[in-house]
Structure 1
Amino acid sequence: MSIPRPTATNVSELVNGSSGKKLNKTKMGSCTDRISALYSPKVGGLANGLSYKPWIEDGTQKIDELTKKPLTLQDKMERKWGLEPGFLTNRAWMNGDSLDEEKMTYYQKKYWSLNDGSTVFDTSNMDEELGYYMLLDSKLVANSEKEWRDHKWPDAKFYISLENEEDELKASKARSKAAAKALIVNPDFSLNMQQKFVHILGLAQTTVSLTPDAIFNVLDNYIDSTTFTPGSNIEKFNELAENLKTPHGRERIEARHLLKRALDSRIIFEKQGGYFWPRPEGQITLGENYSEAIEYLLDPKKEVMVEDMHAELKLKGF
């Protein structure tokens, strides 16, 4: 289990002496964050990963030899660890229930500790094996670092670390940066388009003149300094680069660049997320947000207005 943030005690920075890799590991019991089974309307109780899942062996659900009732993973774990039937019930605590821990069920009072970095669960230990099953069904836990980074679990604060996933992610990140750098040295990526990228990405004002070398260096540094969190440099660059692949995408780049020029020259202004164009005949609202403003500039019915904006820019020397 991993918590996606650096540890305050720098445990996450410790490295293996031979490989140089960060260890990012700590044993259960020396942890700070706590997690427990949460109520799930879908299962009608606590999401413990056991009580509502069939016990499958050889492709079929196990049946109790005496009662002939189908068995669940709860039954399996209770038998494995020598527990009374029903001990691992996922019944949620309700108003009126006792707060006396001796009268509460296992999952009503149990929590698991997670440390910054990675927490190793030893499934030869009962509590840790039960915790692992619970984590698999928790909305607070993504099934992998990749799924966490891809926002497939919007409520996730933790993710399950998979073997070799770190190397795979590093390779993926390296390939992403390499592809971006390949674009900026591609002869088909014109100087004019490079300059538009610099402006749209907010790396320079359209009112500032940059040399070809400066434009290249700005883009190169932008890619080099990227993180890989949501909204990162590489994510913004690749999203913009994707528009180069289609005529409509290129039109969108032109619209975004026009909006940037109009903002820098103060022909239009942005206020509380909206974009407004003061005109002699009255103020025009381009959009209540950035996307709406771009759609306004792309609307064929607004072609005359777009031409007027270009003319106004020309009068201002832009």
Structure 2
Amino acid sequence: MEKTLSKKSLVNVLGVVYVHTKTSDGGDLYLTRFAEPYEEHFDITNWYEKNWFDKHKIRLKGTSSVYRVPTKEVKGKSLDLVVKNCRVGEDVPLDTHTLEEFCDAEFNSPWEEFSLVTEMRENIYGPKELRVNTQRPMAIYVPPEKMQLWQSGRSREKINRIRVKHPGIDLDILKQYKLIYEWIKGKNLIEVFELINVDSAELVSHLKKINYKGIGDLNKKGYLVADMKPEHIIISEENTERIKKIGGSQDIDAPGKQTELLYQLLNEGKYSVVDYELLSRTPEHEDAVKSSRRYSYLDDQLNRFTPTPLPSHLSY
């Protein structure tokens, strides 16, 4: 069988550089810098082979088509991945209140999503002391098969809007795009509170408060998520164990101490945010990005006749 990663080319899409290869099934695979050291793991025979995928995939709670799946072992190491189908061009199923607040919300294209997540990880915008942790964006896999338009659930109008917004972007309305992230070991807020003995009223109060905290941190960094939920906030495995250990003691005030530790972790930024299909920049951040691009273009024009010296290790 032809090796998946036999021919490589570099492509830059919305500021993210990918190693592009044709897969053995005729599809396309785009590896980010996070995935490149593990390129053999991303050979589709090592994670997407039908029998392996069907046997090992675990659908994540509250989702219809987001799966956790391990790769096969390569050189003694397996990777835990999150694989999700991109819903670009589909209608966004938001509740009435959210629709009123985010009436223009649309699912990101795979390229937009990875670009925004990468940008957020680089921690350029907003207060430097505040960092929003994310999953590592690993790869985009585009299977060779084409769907019928009615099967895709996509709107030509929505796809065309993305093409107008990002001229030259490669986006096939009839193809499926699978986004692959690294799995974060830990539990979401709902699962964490299963370890804390609080009544339903307290639970609802804590979840609302922490969800607003997450929304506030994102806003400070220049981002919005139209459907932010407690399930999108992840506490690491190590810190979850700390919370669990307190709950296992005989201390009558264990729930209070567990909750206090949880809020301490959140205030210290020791949490991660997942699910980025409705991630966008705030208007202020979007204006700053456009302004930066404009100045960059003007600088390029100003210096277009100035020769760039060759690096010392090269010569004419």
Under TM normalisation by the shorter chain, which class is it?
under 0.3
Say which one has the larger Rg: 1
Higher RCO, Cα 8 Å, sep 6+? 2
* TM-score normalised by structure 2 residue count: 0.21
- What is the TM-score with the length of structure 1 in the denominator? 0.21
